[in-house]
Amino acid sequence: MVQGRGYALVCLVAVCGTYCLAWKPNSPMDTENGKHTLLLHTPNTSESCERRVKVSSMDLWSASLDDVLAGLPIDPVRENYVRRVKDCIFSRVYPTPFISEVQLVAVSEDVLENLLDLDTSVANTTDFLRFVSGSKLISGFVPLAHRYGGHQFGVWAGQLGDGRAHLISTYINRYGERWELQLKGSGKTPYSRNGDGRAVLRSSVREFLCSEAMHYLGIPTSRAASLVVSNDAIWRDQFYNRNVKKERGAVVLRVAKSWFRFGSLEVLTNSGEFYLLRKLVDFIIKEHFLSISPADPNKVLVFFSKVVSQTADMIAQWMSVGFAHGVCNTDNFSLLSITIDYGPFGFMENYDADYVPNTSDDEGRYKIGAQANVGMFNLNKLLLALKPLMDNRQEQLALKILSDFPNLYYQRFTELYRAKLGLLGASEEDLTLIASFLNLMEDTKADFTMSFRQLSEITRWQLESVTIPQEHWALSSISQHMEFPAWVSAYLLRLKSNPDDSDSGRRERMTATNPRYVLRNWMAESAVRKAEKNDFSEVRQLQNVLRKPFQTQKMAELAGYAQKAPGWAKDLKVSCSS
């Protein structure tokens, strides 16, 4: 501590410079309930990061008060009631604390330590619990709810917005990364429509676990810092069959670089607010697409091109792990192409291109095999939203860019599946090899995740003799197919073309690509059922297992996480209700 002129300075040496947390005890803006809050300043220096400092008290942690979002228009109406909002990007609205006592269910140590510079010991404090449940706010930052619209199940739904989410802080960490902290399930906003602004425990457990699981699978995603539960009564008709039940309210603290989505732009175009549209697009390009020059007359076109490419990549990555989002509406598609808004998702078990995790999706619009098509539909709606910012030439070029989406998706999909099969380089027969293996899986109703994983673990000698050990239960079921020996022959021949490769090298490479554990719906449901009885042990167990999805873990094996789904999970259903 360096004392002087009423300041106590704590300087953190970081990659992007020295962060000075300046305490000004005489300033009313810097205190809350008689406690001092530290303000974050980021002077420009070129010092490198030689040590990492984590804050051990919420009193020593603060939001970025000079936040870039302050330049975006905010709704002048201060009252919190449901209404149609115009001419703004955000509304000021405060979270509604729970009435009953809240309980911390789980935290992500990685998010706390490496994104938010918080020592994990902070999670044991009352201040932290109050902050992540919405009853304690960071001094100087006014919570915001974002206004957006969207196409839901192919139909324009008009104004939607953060109906149960509050942006409670932005934070610039020691690496110079800016993160937006958002509570989900934290109460009503002007965008709540007929909802109560709450989220229930079952959906919150699923969101917390899946967003973290996807991160460790290497899929671009929002993160989850914490999960808290209350005893407040929340009434839900889970399957829309008039069977309303009392559930417990919960809140997840979500973290992302940005929460802007396709619908953020759609609502502005549909409302004729073209000045705001230009302002928001310029802002997003400046803050999140640094390779695009703000002075480039084609910047909107380049922006669209990047979103098209990154969306193709994101969906291909979903498909590489058998992930079905469940509700691919335009309001659930991020402009930064990260996976957001986890609801009735599912990881496919038996391979089925028609797999639909969401029982609310009667038409199967968002089945796993349709996700790329839906991505193109959503990008078309994004292009329509951007149209007022383009001239005729740019619009025609944008249409050509969009028409190339299938090729971009196909190339990335093929690249990922080559890796799943352990193939090096590229060969003309690769697509046939990939498609044939998927067909074998489909015909035998083999498990998607474990078929690839067990192919990663089996030796070349076992494949050559078509001797599949019983413990490789998924691959064993495929081996019963009459065309399996022919596929194995073609596969082994292709493997011989891998330059300077060995069987051990292939297996090591494939096991690092094909996970052994994913968040299957039955696993999440098992954790939810225990959590509803105030037993959070399986939530935490799954969290630990899914942090290392590619490594065989004794605890996970004992729990059966790499085995067939138990009988009770056969008719398991999830819905949009949360």
The DSSP call for residue 369 is G
Q: Which of 117, 313, 331, 361 is catalytic?
A: 331
DSSP per-residue letters across 477-502: HHHTSTTHHHHHHHHHHHHHTSTT--
Please tell me the distance from the alpha carbon of residue 247 to that of residue 257, in angstroms, as a whole number. Answer: 31
- Contact between 547 and 216 (Cβ < 8 Å): yes
DSSP per-residue letters across 176-243: S-EEEEEEESB---TT-TTS-SBEEHHHHHHHHHHHHHHHHHT--B-EEEEEEEEEEEEEE-TTSSS-
Helix (H, G, I), strand (E, B) or coil at 38: coil
- Contact between 85 and 101 (Cβ < 8 Å): no
Q: Which residues pair with residue 253 across a beta bridge?
A: 183, 226
- Contact between 539 and 105 (Cβ < 8 Å): yes
Helix (H) or strand (E) holding 346: strand 346-347
Phi-psi region of 133 (alpha: psi -120 to 50; beta: other; left: phi over 0): alpha
Amino acid occupying residue 319: M
Enter the tokens of residue 236: 């839900």
Residues with Cβ within 8 Å of residue 453, at least 6 apart in sequence: 474, 511, 514, 515, 516, 562
For residue 361, indicate whether it is catalytic.
Answer: no
Residue entry with tokens 């808290």? 228
Please tell me the distance from the alpha carbon of residue 448 to that of residue 309, in angstroms, as a whole number. Answer: 26
Q: How far is CA 11 from the centre of its chain?
A: 32
Please tell me the distance from the alpha carbon of residue 294 to that of residue 283, in angstroms, as a whole number. Answer: 9
The DSSP call for residue 241 is S
Furthest-apart CA atoms within the chain: distance in Å:
83
Secondary structure string (H, E, C) spanning 318-372: HHHCCEECCCCCHHHEECCCCECCCCCCEECCECCCCCCCECCCCCCCCCHHHHH
Please tell me the distance from the alpha carbon of residue 538 to that of residue 531, in angstroms, as a whole number. Answer: 8
Query: Annotated active-site positions, please?
Result: 331
